[in-house]
Structure 1
Amino acid sequence: MEYECPTGKPYYDLMELLRGKNYHIMTTNQDFQFTRVVPEEKLSAIQGDSRFFQCSRRCHDELFYNHDMIYAMNDAIDENLCIPTELIPRCPKCGAELEPWVRGYTFLEGQKYRDEYRKINEFLQANKDRKILFLELGVGRMTPMFIQEPFWNLTYALPQAFYITVNPKDALLPQELSSKGLAIKGDIAIVLRDAVKTASGERMDDRYQDEN
């Protein structure tokens, strides 16, 4: 069950690297692990969040926090791996089944969806003239249009932008960004772990210099 899955160490390592920095995270992950380590105002989950249900008919714009519904269904599973019909989540307006608010054929692009994009767009507008790093972690080639290609375009367009991609398989750097980017082909967990060690060493060196 997603509610009980522990948050992976790479998430904590990433947040350690971002500590004290101005940042915003845009993610296509729907497993809400980022919500455990990142304030909601600094996170844009642009492909949905499985903590929420939506009407499968999209008859209205409301989302439903599903924690209690999920646990009630889980507790009621019988020996045949079935649950009582009355526990199937249904829309209070039209009676259709509720379904996870994640990207699919009936994905609800309502107010919360627009809010997720509003947050990242406000961050970009406020920081477009500053030094800005677009750090892409684990984005593959199945859906490059959501993060990878926008990052490429923004890095190319913004004068002080730099782009880093970390991916064990699809670490791609367009030729147009050869002087403004870096592709690291490797395990994200190892790269972040090593980056934290390096950054911690630098902070210790800084303290030593301050004391002397």
Structure 2
Amino acid sequence: MKDKNYYILTTNQDTQFSRIFSEEKISAIQGDWRYFQCSRRCHDELYDSVETLHKLNDAIGPDLRVPTDMIPRCPKCGAEMEPWVRSWVFLEGKKYHEEHNKLNAFLKKNMHKKVLFLELGVGRMTPMFIQEPFWDLTYAWPGAFYITINPRDAIVPDELKNKGMAIREDIAKVLADTRKIFSGEMK
């Protein structure tokens, strides 16, 4: 990906992509475990959670509890803090909109180019976040092509049969085989 024009849209909240790719190239649209938010959503700020989570983990006692005075509290209203991940109280505020704006800026800039929408492991639980938008954009953009890799849920709508491909295999195997092909190890 080094010299490629790419962007990553993810519903994963585990920050694995940010370990390898630049934050400017990623939109985590369902939150990120590295942040806390107020459980009451009394204000639109997120707080770093990493150090606190490490301290909480270290403080877990034999009864699998942490001291109640260590539970992070909102600095504004005193409510318990909650991870900034999709839930009933998920804060769709400034950071959420920033993630969407980064994605939309990339899409707008590249809409008239050849674009590959590569979907890795998106299941049927939340198709409205990645799968269906990818289908819509592939259908609408003349230079777009869609590939889905998923052992169970690889689906290409009839409307995209000439602009899409479903690979019903394990993602790790497909990516390893692809790497071998491009390095000349596999013919």
Q: TM-score, normalised by structure 1?
A: 0.86
Q: Runs of 5+ in structure 2 lacking a partner? A: none
**Is 1:197 paired with 2:180?**
yes
Alpha-carbon distance, 1:19 to partner = 2.5
2: distance between equivalents of 1:174 and 1:73?
A: 46
Give the structure 2 partner of residue 87 of structure 1.
70
Once the two structures are superposed, residues 125-183 of structure 1 have per-residue CA deviations (whole angstroms, 9 ceiling, x without a partner) of 00000000000000011110000000000000001000000000000010000100100
* 1:48-59 matches, cutoff 5 A: 48-59=31-42
**Is 1:120 paired with 2:103?**
yes
**Is 1:161 paired with 2:149?**
no
Q: TM-score, normalised by structure 2?
A: 0.97
CA RMSD between the two structures = 0.9
2: distance between equivalents of 1:141 and 1:106?
A: 23
* Count of residue pairs the alignment pairs up: 185
* Local SS of the residue matching 2:14: coil
Once the two structures are superposed, residues 32-60 of structure 1 have per-residue CA deviations (whole angstroms, 9 ceiling, x without a partner) of 11110110000000000011110000000
**Is 1:33 paired with 2:11?**
no
Percent of pairs with identical residues:
64
Give the structure 2 partner of residue 62 of structure 1.
45
Counterpart of 1:95, as a letter, is G
Q: Runs of 5+ in structure 1 lacking a partner? A: 1-17, 203-212
Counterpart of 1:24, as a letter, is Y
Counterpart of 2:117, as a letter, is F
* 1:118-157 matches, cutoff 5 A: 118-157=101-140
1: distance between equivalents of 2:69 and 2:18?
A: 30
Structure 1 segments of 4+ aligned residues over 2 angstroms from their partners = none
